[in-house]
Amino acid sequence: MTTNAELYARRIAAIPKGVINGLQVFAARAENAELWDIEGRRYIDFAAGIAVCNTGHRHPKVVAAVEAQLKAFTHTAFQVMPYEGYIALAERLNALAPIDGPAKTIFFNTGAEAVENAVKIARAATGRTGIIAFSGAFHGRTLMTTALTGKVAPYKKLFGTLPGEIWRVPFPVPQYGVSVEDSLKMLDSILRTDADPERVAAIIVEPVQGEGGFHIAPPELLKALRKVCDTHGILLIADEVQTGFARTGKMFAVEHSGIAPDLMTMAKALGGGFPIAGVVGRAEIMDSVDGGGLGSTYGGAPLSCAASLAVLDVIAEEGLVARAAAIGERMRSRFTQWSQRNDLLPVTNVRGLGAMNAFDLPDAAAVKAVTTKAFEGGLILISCGVYGESLRFLPPLTISDALIDEGLDVLEKALVL
Ligand code: PMP
């Protein structure tokens, strides 16, 4: 039998260190909210492959849909010979997305690719080039999305000149001493001192910051951004790559604020484990690019479209939007109890929307120590935050209460001083 240690040695020799691994054990199989490594050890999954498996690992309906597609055809390239799955999925998303008026959708492969293309579409629609993004934002690792991302190390360091005409507004985070008012003042100042509003194509915002620390964009921020955009003819892009598909207790997180973005990017949980991303937006904006200006060989691949259609069915049939809210309440009430204890590492800034939750520990070293101890207890956890000071929780929305509690028990032990 191959051991984890043997595979890790091969991984080190064969694969560059630029891509990291949270764990040094290797996946053998997965079922709903549990994973097993190649040595047969079982883990509870509170990461869901970074917010991908909202419908659990290998949901039977998703597997069946992919199996059926596999028997029909696997690839034609939508640009060469199109197929119904792509269209059916676009229609479903056009109806679901909180976009004002008629919407259209185009598919890609990764979240970064969706953001890249949302920027291209916004530029084509407005005839402008500038983009405003936030501190702590994460939008991907391609050159444009790296430029939009608001964290230097490790994302920007070493990569030289990045695309320009990007202005950055501090994201409101109370524990960093930044209020919504501060953010809006800075935005106003940028538009007066630095960026001609008539050169700004779009403002891009995560309705809940992901990698940057699970900080929630307050509805008053999103409403104010909508207003600024309307005043200056700027488009509002909601990056829902991490927050989409029931994760936050709404289908899309921006719905918590009641505003409608002009463009939305989505990926991760849409495919339920199969790579797919999309840009959904107001039809007239989406149609501003000439034929051939958008596309990708594998974008909206048949297997991924089949999986995504099944994911949308599962979310509706199993009531996962409401389930996300219930999961969140269950987890946050336990975190809040921990935050009042003095026999545990200090748990602070408990926060979250639906089943997208986090809390802070004193520093990144404490976070590392706790994730390591939790892993030893059979729980998979990931961190986030500009300072690496936060633990984030993204369990599959199909997880049982019993498994949540078992995972939280492991975590509680890992927090003991
Ligand atoms: N936007 C957001 C909000 C994300 O969380 C991520 C990935 N963590 C991305 C974009 C990039 O997605 P991908 O890794 O699929 O390129």
255 lines ligand 1 (CB under 6 A): no
Two tokens, residue 39:
């040595």
Taking the domain 61-317, which CATH number applies?
3.40.640.10
Same topology for domains 4-55+320-415 and 61-317, yes or no?
no
Do residues 107 and 89 lie in contact, with contact meaning Cβ atoms separated by under 8 Å?
Answer: yes
**CA triple 403-407-413, angle to 5 deg:** 145
Task: Please determine, looking at this structure, whether the domain spanning 4-55+320-415 carries the CATH number 3.40.30.10.
Answer: no
Two tokens, residue 7:
């595979």
Do residues 89 and 65 lie in contact, with contact meaning Cβ atoms separated by under 8 Å?
Answer: no
Measured by CA distance, the residue closest to atom 12 of ligand 1 is 111
267 lines ligand 1 (CB under 6 A): yes
112 lines ligand 1 (CB under 6 A): yes
The parts of the chain modelled with pLDDT lower than 50 are none
Do residues 282 and 105 lie in contact, with contact meaning Cβ atoms separated by under 8 Å?
Answer: no
Q: Say whether 215 sits in a helix, a strand or coil.
A: coil
Cα of 113 to ligand 1 centre, how many Å? 9
In 258-400, which residue ranges form alpha helices assigned H by DSSP? 283-286, 302-317, 320-339, 364-376
Do residues 349 and 341 lie in contact, with contact meaning Cβ atoms separated by under 8 Å?
Answer: no
Confidence (pLDDT) at 50: 98
From 139, 141, 252, 298, mutation site for ligand 1 pocket: most ligand atoms within 8 A of C-beta: 139
Q: Say whether 249 sits in a helix, a strand or coil.
A: coil
* Cα distance between residue 62 and residue 310, in whole Å: 5
Number of C-beta neighbours around residue 38 at 10 A: 16
116 lines ligand 1 (CB under 6 A): no
Of 105, 55, 87, the C-alpha closest to 269 is 55
Locate the ligand 1 atom nearest the alpha carbon of residue 240 and give its number. 3
241 lines ligand 1 (CB under 6 A): yes
Cα of 341 to ligand 1 centre, how many Å? 35
Confidence (pLDDT) at 158: 96
Of 285, 281, 245, the C-alpha closest to 105 is 281
Output the pTM of the full model: 0.98
Confidence (pLDDT) at 1: 87
115 lines ligand 1 (CB under 6 A): yes
Burial of 13 (0-12, 13-18, 19+ CB in 10 A): exposed
Q: Which residues lie below 8 Å from residue 297, measured CB to CB, with a gap of 6+?
A: 77, 79
Do residues 415 and 344 lie in contact, with contact meaning Cβ atoms separated by under 8 Å?
Answer: yes
Q: What is the dihedral of CA 136, 140, 142, 144, to 10 degrees?
A: -50
Measured by CA distance, the residue closest to atom 5 of ligand 1 is 242
* Cα distance between residue 270 and residue 55, in whole Å: 9
* Cα distance between residue 60 and residue 282, in whole Å: 34
Measured by CA distance, the residue closest to atom 13 of ligand 1 is 111
Locate the ligand 1 atom nearest the alpha carbon of residue 141 and give its number. 16
In sequence order, the β-bridge partners of residue 263 are 237, 281
Cα of 50 to ligand 1 centre, how many Å? 9
138 lines ligand 1 (CB under 6 A): yes
* Cα distance between residue 410 and residue 261, in whole Å: 40
Q: At what angle do helices 320-339 and 401-415 cross, to 10 degrees?
A: 20
Domain ranges of the chain: 4-55+320-415, 61-317
Do residues 406 and 44 lie in contact, with contact meaning Cβ atoms separated by under 8 Å?
Answer: yes
Q: Which residues lie below 8 Å from residue 62, measured CB to CB, with a gap of 6+?
A: 55, 272, 273, 274, 307, 310, 311, 314
